[in-house]
Amino acid sequence: MSGPTTGKTVLITGATAGIGKATALELARQGPIVAIVGRDADKTRAVAAEISATTGNPAVEPWTADLSSQAEIRQLAQEFMVKHPVLDVLVNNAGGYWSTRRTTVDGMEHTFALNHLAPFLLTNLLLDALKAASAARVVTVSSGAQAMGRIDFDNLQGERGYSGQRAYNQSKLANVLFSNELARRLEDTGITSNALHPGVVRTDFGKEDPTRLLRVLTPVVRAFMLTPVKGAQTSVYLATSSQVAGVTGGYFVKSRPRRSSKLSYDRELAARLWDVSERLTDLPALRA
């Protein structure tokens, strides 16, 4: 078993189902150490064993963390770097949609916390391991919804009027802004940072707290959605392909570079979001 990631270490969040699991399966076939992160310890262990058995790769590791909790993110990063001081690929895949406002253990609005602050914090905490690799890659799963997103700094937490769709759109734009700003800050380190839209994929998206419209429409359009395997293709491409070696600050759809929304290229907006995110995660300024 060999491939572009043979002998390397890969970490994938939200990897116990859907796009994340499909990404882990494909990458495991290429022979790296594949660390998968899930919320439920038993499920994560079971999925890791399944991926290992399916691919013949014995180095599939289960890691448990609720990424809506900053304490659990910090613990994950600390423990991971003790075992793996070198990280070649980080796939920020975890995310979700909630139609009603809810808060995390840190008092943050859940969508913003999980979809944006979690990859922001985890990536920053793992930077030493990424820098220790020869040419590490950070891959952040966004969505076509980023095109409808706006960053409302006066209502980031949805305290003054909450819309599940608006919160989701904002978080997906934040993913691209973060990815682009990370690329700029790591320009001379050899680490690349790219974001992607996986397509409309047949997953359990929004299942925990769907809107009425989502409950009605999903069974109707489900047959026309992409399979998780197809949805994972761009993540796998950005994680492994020699065609994107050295490519950074990009946005990809169907494994091809595309223009993201106009706002996603706003450097002042990205820098402001970075500063706010640092404060919300108690993270000191990144010195790349």
Q: Scanning the structure block, which residue is given the tokens 């900053």?
A: 70
Q: How far apart are CA 119 and CA 127, in angstroms?
A: 12
DSSP 96: -
| Residue 216, burial from CB neighbour count under 10 angstroms (0-12, 13-18, 19+) | exposed
Angle formed at CA 169 by CA 184 and CA 100, multiple of 5 degrees: 135
Catalytically active residues are 168
Q: Do the Cβ atoms of 280 and 124 come closer than 8 Å?
A: no
First vs last Cα of the chain: how many Å apart?
Answer: 35
Q: Do the Cβ atoms of 140 and 133 come closer than 8 Å?
A: no
